[in-house]
Structure 1
Amino acid sequence: MDLSKARWRKSTRSGASGGNCVEVASNLPGVVAVRDSKRVAGPALAFTPAAWAAFLSQVVDRP
């Protein structure tokens, strides 16, 4: 999968120290990519937008 045009954004839950961070690219058609910000040249996981939305619905903060 070609992720060269991915626009990565860091999780809003990531600290300023650059520790355990996740980056997400959702600008590509039909795919949401996720990677470890410490290993930008390393592997990335790819999800369909529906699968990513299902995942997020289970991990978001709940009141």
Structure 2
Amino acid sequence: MSSHTPVKSTTIERMRQVVRARLEVLRKLEKERNHILREVARYLSGKKAEHEKKIMAEMPYTPVKYE
């Protein structure tokens, strides 16, 4: 460091601990976010499948006639 007043090593260590703690919080938040996104994707794909089944059930079946 090029500062004129020397920084105590305890201060640097405290700063490092704060940074580590914040990184840990960010990691946990990212894990939670990914979990939520997976749940949402699973829910939406299930809804899409339900919707497609419903549409297929409501469609009248008309055989194609070739002339």
Q: For this structure pair, what is the TM-score category when the shorter chain's length is used for normalisation?
A: under 0.3
Bigger proportion of residues as strand: 1
Larger radius of gyration: 2
TM-score by length of 1: 0.24
